[in-house]
Each structure stands twice: as structure tokens, then as C-alpha cells.
Structure 1
Amino acid sequence: MEVGIVARKGSERAVTVADELREAVADAGASVWLDAETAAALGEPAAGRAVGALADCDLAVAVGGDGTFLFVARNAEDTPIVGVNLGEVGFLNAVPPEAAAEAVRSEVEAFDRGAMNVREAPRLAARTDDWTSVPAANEIVIQGGRRGPGAGIDYELRVDGSRYAGGHADGVLIATPTGSTAYNLSEGGPLVHPAVSGLIVNEMAADDGMPPLVVDADATVSVAVEGVEEAVVASDGRNVATLPAPTEVAVQRTTPSMYIAGPPSDFFEALGKLS
């Protein structure tokens, strides 16, 4: 078994925890993989590999916050991920540092028995006829080049072909339950428990919009964009593509899903850290 460990960039505490995990993995009889930056921080630059190689590991460990977890997820494909939380909100990172070594050892032992407890979380992709976005664990946002007065897009929003809304807005956001607590929440969207199978459709500062809507997890949400020369599509706020407009962007669930290993987070306890 091979376990990949990625520590949050620039965090001495994350590197210290990663070092402890490296020893715990070796003691459990598994081999250790380190990304290049974590390896360099531990004084072993020759041991580091490109983060894309996480997909070849049997288990990945993200040490940091939800941002580190999402960074690992973007590169891990269908490799299960254990998240170690360094004091942040921790909707994805459920394991405290003091319990990290034991949690990872337990997953190594479970892997050897063929009994890992892995939970599935959906990812989304945006598509046009000739383009597909990077998968998103939190949300896909479709907007113009600018937001605010005098900016935004003219749009028509459909769910499985049926019109739901349209008009003028800063943009349209489609989120997973995982992403309900992120950008969606700041745009007035609903909190959705991770056990709910659905997608959130949320118009952003619409002139005459509809309430945020939760639709089936396998629905196709289509956004036709007009009134601008370019449409900007962002996946988890990091992977941004600019498309010539008018255009129609379809958003739907994609594979692989995100797979989460280790003990689950307490959703309601994490919510308490938002206030």
C-alpha cells in the first residue's frame, strides 16, 4: 500500500504533522509518498513527486484546511482522502492533529483487510460543445468578466430542459452539498447537509431572480449567456476559463466523485465555527 501525504504550503505545523504521519505510515508497513513541496520542507527534496501522482496512491492525506483538502482532491482522482484539520472550520478535514497518526494507521489496517470506510461526495463539470471544465467539488460559477453595476450577464437558466429563471444577474452558481457552506452561502444560498443528494442552483445578485433551488443530483443545469462578449466559468474559484459569448454552458455531475476516508466530520459542529 502507498500513502500520499500533502502538507499545507508554508505551514510549519502542517509539516510537523506530516512528519509524524510519515513515521506512522512506515510503522504500519505501508510506503510513503510525499509531494515535492512537503518533501522539501522535511529536508528530503529527492523524495518529492508531482501532485498528479496522488492518483496512483491507495490513500491520500491532506494536512491543513479545506483548501488543502480540495487541492489534494483535484489531483487524487478516485484515491480516498483523509483530511487532518489544523484548527479551521473543517467540513472536509475531520481529524484533529493529535488523532491523525491513529486515524491513518486505522485506514492502512482497514485497507489490508479490504474494509476501508469511504464516503462519496459529488463533483461537477461544466461543458459546452467543445470544452469541459476541471471538476469542481464545491461549485461552478458562470458570470461575465466583471460584477456589479453596469456589469453582469443576460442569462436563461434551465433545469433538465425546463426554464427556471432568466434576466440579468452577476452570474449563476451551481453547488454541491459540500459547497453549500462555501461561496454559495456567501451568495445567500441554503445550507445543505452532506447526506442530501442534490445540487444547488443560485442566481447571484439577480435583477429579478428566483429563490435558490435544490434539484436532483443527476440533473443538468443549463445556463445560456448573452449580453457580453465573453463568459467566465470558474471551477472551485481556481480553475477559470473564458468562453466567447453568446454561449450555453451545461453543468452536471461528473466522474470520478470525491472519496473521503477516515472518521466523518460533525457537520453541525463545523457550522458553529462559521459564526
Structure 2
Amino acid sequence: MKVAIVAQWGNDRTARLAGDLRERLVSADVTVWLDAATADELGVPGRPIEAFDAADLVVSIGGDGTFLFAAHGARTTPILGVNLGEVGFLNAVNPEDAVEAVMEEVRNFREAGELPTRSMPRLAASGEDWQLPSAVNEVVVQGARRGHGGGASVEVRVDGSRYATGHADGVLIATPTGSTAYNLSEDGPLIHPGVSGFVVTEMAGAQGMPPLVVDRDATVSVTVEGTENAVVVVDGRIRERVEPPADVTVEIAEDPVRMAGPASDFFEALKKLE
């Protein structure tokens, strides 16, 4: 079995836990990969995150940002999230339980040849001649800059029917997982993870259409007009600049996030937003 570990950078606690977990796995005859930064802290060889999709399990140690980073490398490889003492939406395992939780997944894999998982949807964003890696949280289509004198002229369609048009800082399309992140800061609604859909939220729209929750099978099209360039951003990390007029299509991706280990309590995790 191959287990890949990604730890929050620059954090002594996560590095120590990654080291302890690595030692336990190696003693159990498990092949262990570490991301380059964590490996450097521990003085062992590392691997690029892009190679982690070849592992059987990816362990993320840190906050939701670390999980998102790990998920982009893991693709459809199951991920187990370990939090830093605060229950998160993506990291359900406490640090003191981390080693045993991972070893339980090792036992499951050796007994069944696969891991029990649950799926979370991702979003795929594409244009005429480009496609970005799938988003775990959100896809944002926005002007090159926000605020007065910035933004972009946009038209939003859902399955071909026009929903909103006008000038806005941007348009945010979020998964249920992402509804608790950037979407919430833009006054979008929380979506329970059991809901089969995603949310479209205008960002400071001049005409102010309310957020809209659409079915998971819907296709959202954002047409960017005007003269200034815009940018498409995936999970706050990956960017594609587009030159108007441009059409951006967002829909459910074919590669969901596969979660291993115990599930977090959505309502308990909401407390971190208070």
C-alpha cells in the first residue's frame, strides 16, 4: 500500500505528526510519500504533489487550505483529513487520533483491496480553448480588479436561460463544501453537504440578483463582456486570464473528491464560523 502525506507548511506540530505517522506506516511495511516541503523539514526525500494521485490514500494534516492543496494532487485518490485541534469541514480527525485512524484505513485496504469512501462534488471550469483543474470549493469569474472602477460586465445563464446580467465584481459558483468559504463571505447561503446542487452568487452586482442554488446536473455559463480582461480562479489558487468577449462554462466535474475516514459533523464544524 502507498500512503502520501501532506502537512501544513511552516508548522512544527504538523511536521512532527507527519514524522510520527511516517514512522508508524513504515514499520507496518507501507510505502510513504511526503510532499516536498514536509519532506525537507523531516530530512527525507519528497515527491511532487502532482504524483499523489498514484497513492492509495492521501493524508492531509492542517486546515482546509492544506486539504484543498492535497486534493488537487490526489484527484480521485481517497483523502483523510487531520485537523489542528479545531473541527473543520474537511478535516474530521483530531491530531491525537490521527495515527490510529490512518492505520485503520491501512487495515481496511489490506482486507478489502479498497477503502470505504464518500464523495464530494467538484466543479469544472472551461473556455473555448482551456480547462482548469477541478475546484473543490469554488470557481470565481471576476474582473481583473474589484471595487470602484473595476469588475466586469457579465451575463449568467443556467441551462441556457438567462439568470442575471449587468456589472459586478464577479460571479462565484460554489459546491456545498465551498458554500462555507468564500461564498459565505459574499453573502451566499450555506448548503448542507447532503444537498445535491451548487450555488451561484453574484459578487457586488450592480443590480443585485440574489444567490441561486441549482441542481447538480445544471450547466452555468458566464459571458464576460466589455473591454478589460477578466480572470477565472479555482479555489483561490489556479488562475486563467480571459479576454472579452469570453464564455466560461461551469458544471459538475467527473472527478469527485473521495473522502476516507470518519465524517465531520457539519453543524459542529459550523461553530468555527462564529
TM-score normalised per structure 2? 0.96
Q: Where do residues 67-146 of structure 1 align in structure 2 (5 Å cutoff)?
A: 67-88=65-86, 90-114=88-112, 116-146=115-145
Q: Percent identity?
A: 59
Q: CA RMSD in A?
A: 1.2
What amino acid sits opposite 1:9 in the alignment? W
* DSSP 3-state at the match of 2:256: strand
1:48 maps to 2:46: yes
CA contact (8 A) 1:125 1:252 kept: yes
The C-alpha deviation readout for 1:45-103, integer Å capped at 9, x for no partner, is xx211111111100010111111111000111111011110134511011010000110
CA contact (8 A) 1:28 1:108 kept: no
Cα offset, 1:150, TM superposition: 2.0
Inter-partner Cα distance in structure 2 for 1:149 and 1:11: 38
What amino acid sits opposite 2:231 in the alignment? V
Matched with 1:5 is 5
1:204 maps to 2:203: yes
What amino acid sits opposite 1:106 in the alignment? E
Greater mean alpha carbon deviation, residues 170-179 or residues 35-44? 35-44
Inter-partner Cα distance in structure 1 for 2:178 and 2:216: 13
CA contact (8 A) 2:152 2:228 kept: no
Inter-partner Cα distance in structure 2 for 1:28 and 1:216: 44
Note the residue ranges of structure 1 that are not aligned, 5 or more in a row: none
* DSSP 3-state at the match of 2:73: helix
Matched with 1:222 is 221
Inter-partner Cα distance in structure 1 for 2:30 and 2:162: 52
1:32 maps to 2:47: no
Higher strand fraction: Structure 1 or Structure 2?
A: 1
What amino acid sits opposite 1:99 in the alignment? D
What amino acid sits opposite 1:238 in the alignment? R
Inter-partner Cα distance in structure 1 for 2:265 and 2:238: 29
Inter-partner Cα distance in structure 2 for 1:204 and 1:65: 25
Matched with 2:176 is 177
Inter-partner Cα distance in structure 1 for 2:4 and 2:208: 45
* DSSP 3-state at the match of 2:253: strand
Q: Where do residues 151-166 of structure 1 align in structure 2 (5 Å cutoff)?
A: 151-166=150-165
* DSSP 3-state at the match of 2:261: coil
Inter-partner Cα distance in structure 2 for 1:154 and 1:33: 46
CA contact (8 A) 1:4 1:34 kept: yes
Inter-partner Cα distance in structure 1 for 2:36 and 2:152: 41
Inter-partner Cα distance in structure 2 for 1:191 and 1:87: 23
What amino acid sits opposite 1:274 in the alignment? L
What amino acid sits opposite 1:75 in the alignment? G
What amino acid sits opposite 1:150 in the alignment? G
Cα offset, 1:149, TM superposition: 1.6
Inter-partner Cα distance in structure 1 for 2:86 and 2:218: 32
Matched with 1:15 is 15
Note the residue ranges of structure 2 that are not aligned, 5 or more in a row: none
Cα offset, 1:135, TM superposition: 1.3
Inter-partner Cα distance in structure 2 for 1:144 and 1:89: 34
Inter-partner Cα distance in structure 2 for 1:18 and 1:97: 10
Inter-partner Cα distance in structure 1 for 2:82 and 2:37: 17
Cα offset, 1:202, TM superposition: 0.4
Inter-partner Cα distance in structure 2 for 1:138 and 1:89: 18
Aligned length: 273
